[in-house]
Amino acid sequence: MKILTLNCGSSSLKYKLFEMKTNNVLAKGQADRIGLTNALFSHDLQGREVFQNERRLADHHEAVRALLSFLTNKEQSILKDINEIAGVGHRVVHGGEHFHQSVVVNQAVREILEATKKLAPLHNPPNLMGIDVCTELMVGVPQVAVFDTAFHQTLPPRAFIYAIPYRYYANDHVRRYGFHGISHRYVASRAAKILRGKIDNPRIITCHLGNGSSLCAVAQGQSRDTSMGFTPLSGVVMGTRSGDIDPTVVSFIAEKEKCSLTEVMDVLNRQSGVLGISGVSPDFRDLEKEAAQGHERARLALDVFAYSVARGVASLIPAIDGLDALAFTAGIGENSPKMRRRICSFLAWLGVALNEDINSEDTGEREISARESKITVLVVPTDEEKIIAQETMEVLQQDKRAEKNRF
């Protein structure tokens, strides 16, 4: 069974093609700068060849069409026909309270997804666009939505209810949802396997740190609390997002700048975070470079981010009655020894200590805590596409069994 996974951003498309019988990745790649004249589409045929093609991709429709054309090109010998793909798994950031698990997208599901676009305005519209384009171009191939919010449906009410009039939850479903659930689920599962034999049923806080960042407290394999809330704007400081702020800042900015609520939300979503503090960049590599050259606001942005994450970690400990392991993942979590060091320095009071030599290595999945550390600290590269492919296969198999039982 071959499964294609897609993760559509506002101007990007990432894909992986899996052969599920052997658990092999047949091809992977991504298109960047969709909508611009110099879009770049790269393909990696896993040990065979790497292709890069700079071309105009006017929209996601053209990007998906280019992807399918590449996969069925006789020269590549990847697929003979598009119908070899048993299903397409799509990462969908926000499923609201409607979806506790992955689902095949039909018209009813499509309508609910349309209604949830306002809950994740940066993410859900391109996610839905990817589903629509694949539905049009891959007639008869099931499209499966895999939700970032689904893993967090195990949060208890004390963790997801906001202290505002209850009618907003009862009538409008305003609550903490949490995000990056696909990643948190995978990383927590890998961390538990690493700790097997050392700690049974470990209490883990996973730190998904990238341009968008979130934390998750996991016990018994379930999400018990998480840093993001109603939308992916809240929680720790991020690349361009503010994270948690006093709500009255919104009205203050609106009055001072004489701007609309929508414009204030744009400030908080796209102009804030470490970009807003530093005035330099949302890219932590740029910030590290500028900080090393004495740029005070770049240094401040890095310090604010690290403290924000450490503070978030400490606040999640009551949700799981203690802490056995801390697991770093995603772009910053996996690739920035300096940021891991900064964050852990704020957690020294918990007994967190790093092995600096191992922390500085670039060797993938590993334990980076010192022997004397009271908390195990791990680096676990995330593999959201693998989870999406597995979920897609399971949903399709469940549908087949359900179909058989009808007759």
The values of phi and psi at residue 45, to 5°, are -90, 30
Which position among 32, 44, 132, 148 bears the catalytic label?
Answer: 148
Question: Is 362 known to be catalytic?
Answer: no
For the sheet containing 204-209, what is the strand order?
222-226, 213-219, 204-209, 325-329, 376-379, 366-367
Going from the C-alpha of 129 to that of each of 7, 65, 66, 90, 327, the distances in angstroms are 11, 13, 16, 10, 33
- Sequence-distant (6+) residues with CB within 8 A of 132 are none
Can you tell me which residue has the tokens 């908390």?
375
Residue 238 structure tokens = 């991020």
| Selection from 71, 95, 76, 81 nearest residue 17 by Cα | 71
Can you tell me which residue has the tokens 């995330």?
382
Residue 188 structure tokens = 């927590």
Alpha helices, DSSP H, located in 151-247: 157-160, 167-172, 181-195
| Selection from 159, 163, 166, 173 nearest residue 119 by Cα | 173
Active site residues: 148
